[in-house]
A and B are shown apart, each in its own frame.
Chain A
Amino acid sequence: MALSEEAIRRLVYQSCMTLDVEDCAGYLALCGTNYRYRITTYSPELKKDMVWLDHSRKDLANMLEMVPQHVRLPGKFLRHATVQVVDPGERPGEWKVVSALSVYYTDPDGETRLFAVGRYHDRIEDTGGTPWLAAREVRLETRILGPGSHLPM
């Protein structure tokens, strides 16, 4: 069965919503076994790209398992993605998907500010109409992120 764009959109949005509620197992369930997750940005100071996170699925799982033990910004993040491009990939059953991303932070007092903007560059694969994330690069425009985050964007 051909993968529908609606299923792809749903996958991208689920990836945001699982991270928003810190459902790490739910997030990893959306990712393939060879999943690769990266956060990158361009530095005009250095005139080159920087890699701020580059994890295999296993690395990511280890990292997420430790998150509750860390001192973290109290409050909530809300990831808002808008799927903008859905193109066929190089192989059958593969899609290249680009989404605009904005991440909002709401502190415990209820005050919200924009935390970061960027884009997801996803490689999505499917078998029988059920898509999964094969790779995600979060390409950030925002480079000053306050305390940063222990969780993926």
Chain B
Amino acid sequence: MARTANEWNRPPAMPEDHYVSSQIYIDPELFSEEQEKIFKKTWKLACHESEVPDAGDYRTLEWAGTPLVVIRGNDDCIRTFVNICSHRSATVAQGPSGNVKTMVCFFHLWEYDHQGRCIAMPRDEGYKEAGPSKAQAGLREVRTAVKLGLVFVNLDDAAPDFADYAGNTFEHFEEVLGSQPLEVFHYGRVKMRANWKQWHETNIELYHEWGHVVNRTTGIRAPGYFETGWKLYPGGHGMLIPKKIRYADYKGWDARSNQTMPGIDPGELRSMDLFPNTTIIVRATNIRIDTSTPIGPGITLLEQRGLGVKGEPAEVRTMRVRDHNQYWGPFGRNVAEDVIFVEAVERSNRQGHPNWGIHSRRENGGAQDDDFLRHYYAEWRRRMGRSSANPSNRAVALAAE
């Protein structure tokens, strides 16, 4: 039966953690609060170590409004700095990537080594009286952790170490990510009119697979699909218990039986999500890694990487790239659909319609259970100190926690 306006606007008659308010996707104040309480406090995937293979190689990015440069030093250590000159705030490292012996600001030529130390200021005698000295003018270092080749950064000097943050979430990814050197062969960005959480929701609920013809054909119909589900870890993280996918059931595709990634069975699908916005998906022969940069409540820059085994024969690489591109990349069959899905949601949520998003599926923790979504939003509530169903009522929210 269709509902009246009152019925439509009334909170769902279900536990409060089984739905979210659409405010969490559109409210500029909540977005600003997320910047402070989530983005500036959690570990963000910056790049893969293969993107900075040699001493002096760097990658730049912007996170929570802060420009960053990730650089491999002469000591082979990967460090991250705020990419702003200590002198007058010009960007130091230019462009998305490069290689430098030292980092020289192009404005007044202050110079920094790979460890962020200021090593030169033109005519530095001019600073002898009032300072700063070179020792006082280093770049601001940002905490950096390399886990299985993935380079994570954290803007909060007091945040827990990455190992404590991630816990055991990588336990089923040690072999695939860590037993052979990997390298990125695909780097793509999608600027979406969607909230960053709306994208990551698609990575942690599987029933949107009904919307993908590829997944309907190759996944949902595969034997055992509904029998495995998610494993949840403290901190809002989780992983999809591996599944067998029948890739060859989609017209023109093969079964992905050969040259699977290390430790991955033929036809296997395995994925994990690290709160708030890192997803790793292994589809037998290749890996996709998602992260996002929230720009505004309804604008998100999604970054996607595709990975293969470093140094593998050209014909194997060609196969991996082909398999990757079948699903992903701007001409893949699935990424376009996911973007269209979440942009459609954002278009409605933008005006506050509807008031609620439903996360109430219970299937004993199975593939299409909303358990992981509820777990993810429990972490969001813990960090924000707000209810995700009633975010503007702080007192009620805290009492509910």
Contact = CB atoms under 8 A, between A and B. Distances in A.
B191 A148 contact: no
B95 interface: yes
Interface in A33-49: 39, 43-47
Contacts of A108: none
B214 to A, nearest CB: 8
Contacts of B333: 66, 70, 150
Given A59-B252, A63-B252, A46 B51 contact: yes
A25 interface: no
Contacts of A46: 51, 97, 184-185, 187
Nearest to A138: B331
A53 B325 contact: yes
Contacts of B343: 147
B56 to A, nearest CB: 13
For the residues of B in contact with A, the DSSP-based class is mixed
Interface residues of A, number: 31
A66 B251 contact: yes
A63 B332 CA distance: 10
Contacts of B337: 70-72
B330 A52 contact: yes
Interface in B197-219: 211-213
Nearest to A44: B96
A4 interface: no
Nearest to A65: B251
B231 interface: no
Interface residues on B, range: 35 or more
A143 B96 CA distance: 13
A130 interface: no
B185 A50 contact: yes
Given A39-B331, A66-B213, A148-B330, A51 B189 contact: no
B262 to A, nearest CB: 22
A66 B326 CA distance: 12
A52 B329 contact: yes
Contacts of A66: 213, 250-252, 333
A23 B74 CA distance: 56
A69 B340 contact: no
Interface in A9-66: 39, 43-47, 50-54, 58-59, 62-63, 65-66
Contact of A146 (B191, B251, B321, B341): B191
B318 interface: yes
A59 B254 CA distance: 11
B322 interface: yes
Contact of A71 (B186, B211, B322): B211
A44 B97 contact: yes
Nearest to B306: A50
A53 B331 contact: yes
Contact of B325 (A52, A65, A152): A52
Nearest to B96: A45
A73 interface: yes
Contacts of B97: 44-47
B189 A147 contact: no
Contacts of A52: 186, 325, 329-331
Interface string A136-148: 0000000111111
8 contacts: A53-B325, A62-B252, A69-B213, A70-B337, A71-B340, A71-B341, A149-B330, A150-B336
Interface of B: 51, 59, 95-97, 184-192, 211-213, 250-252, 318, 321-322, 325, 329-333, 335-337, 339-341, 343
Top 4 A-B residue pairs of the complex, sorted by shortest distance between their CB atoms = A62-B252, A148-B330, A147-B339, A148-B336
